[in-house]
Structure 1
């Protein structure tokens, strides 16, 4: 007896039958044709099989409740992790590695580069900025955009430079945040809180004589206050060191008349370094 299948009354071999089946699949066939026709309207009209009635509530097994994440607890856990990592760093290189590897801040996922610091870490003056912008995110260095170029000119005017080898003539620059916020928005309180353990340890390891709080966000982080136009020019204390709030260079680019006040602040900083300030 011939075992070959037939197609429209024609005997075909197994390879041909398989090729035909594959062709039908490519044409969109997804269901075989049976020997007898099927009335699908009749199938849809059939009564559904009866199901057992549900058990009374008192007899039903309780559904285990899914744990709901508490954002406040998550934030506190991230801060605690940041504090442990920062405390374990004995050098600036170790701190940079620990902070870059820390995953407790969502900004890390959207940023291109980690922006830790720039300048001479032995400098007497540490400038604490806000957060990386687009150009800083691109280069992985703080204050390298238009505002950073103005900052360099400002401090060069009083004999200080991030390129200086001599600590007496150098500046060291870092930010409250090391990852760029999207759209250059202000950092959130949660982002500041989780970054502060690293900032505090950064300042401890760099050990500057003076700190410049460059803008509102550093003042909020270090002093718990905003309002840079009221705070600027008034010496205070932050991280256990003398600190001078100043307007951010980005503000000065938009408000040229404010450069006169910024110059007065720079002179006050220079005098303090010379031991002539209060």
Structure 2
């Protein structure tokens, strides 16, 4: 499949319509309706130049320091005077767990108040050695009911985005599957934002999942996933468009599918992020 064909397929899978300029002989009616969905203009290819321009040099990953042993509360809520917490007991034990042990530990976790209202923990889904890892924010009501991340309308949009890249959460070899996890494993009441203490308590579980998967690229979706992994308070709009690193793994920032359902104009930017992630992985090679 050519790049143009893949571009059109990705845009259509994300619900974006591609507009083509008419040929000179064609006339566009003045009363032609404007599409309700976000449209992306596809420009005609330029005429070949007499001398080929040199290819741009590949962008180098933007190195981000490995997570410091600070509490997530300190990073996400500076200046709020939150009390300093002692290191969570059992961190060394979590760091040595295999998949069954880790899943059991998440299911039994009562380290924060979120355990009181959950129906199910949301551990994660996908190939345990997938090349792609998707990290989201916190489970919503439907995720809590089903025990799986990214379901409902946001999940359908994510699946469409993955299909546009030839990826799946459930089928195919490791290079064609993803592993999907959230920063929180329990749903905050009323789908409120995660609290810093809750993020801090769940962080060792996510760190161990990443260590077990050993992904070749990470796609961080949404504010809290981005802030937790990159140790940054910068908004997504300032962090996207370039390649970061998480403990040596390339990381690309993008918007959460739930946000995209409310902000259609940013679907085109999310498509750019997918292209960046795919291009980064392909440049790394097998």
Out of 169, 174, 182, the position equivalent to 2:176 is 169
Give 1:276 shift: 6.7
Out of 102, 106, 113, the position equivalent to 2:113 is 106
TM-score, normalization by structure 2: 0.67
Out of 72, 86, 89, the position equivalent to 1:76 is 86
Assess if the C-alpha contact under 8 Å between 1:234 and 1:244 holds in 2.
Answer: yes
Instruction: Check if 1:229 corresponds to 2:237.
Output: yes
- What is the number of residues matched between the two proteins? 203
Larger RCO (CA within 8 A; separation ≥ 6): 2
State the alpha-carbon separation in 1 of the partners of residues 175 and 92 from structure 2: 33
The unaligned stretches of length 5 or more in structure 1 are: 1-70
Give 1:229 shift: 1.7
Q: Which residue is 1:194 aligned to?
A: 201
Instruction: Check if 1:275 corresponds to 2:283.
Output: yes
State the alpha-carbon separation in 1 of the partners of residues 267 and 279 from structure 2: 18
Structure 1 runs (4+) deviating above 4 angstroms are: none
2:110 aligns to what SS in structure 1? coil
Give 1:99 shift: 2.1
Instruction: Check if 1:250 corresponds to 2:267.
Output: no
What does residue range 1-278 of structure 1 map to in structure 2 within 5 Å?
A: 72=83, 75-76=85-86, 79-81=88-90, 83-89=91-97, 91-226=98-233, 227-275=235-283
Give 1:192 shift: 0.8
Assess if the C-alpha contact under 8 Å between 1:177 and 1:195 holds in 2.
Answer: yes
2:138 aligns to what SS in structure 1? coil
Judging changes above 3 Å, is the alpha-carbon distance between structure 1 residues 276 and 93 closer, same or farther for their aligned structure 2 residues?
closer
CA deviation map 1:123-144 (0-9, x unaligned): 1000010010011001000001
The structure with the largest alpha-carbon Rg is 1
State the alpha-carbon separation in 2 of the partners of residues 85 and 108 from structure 1: 20
TM-score, normalization by structure 1: 0.69
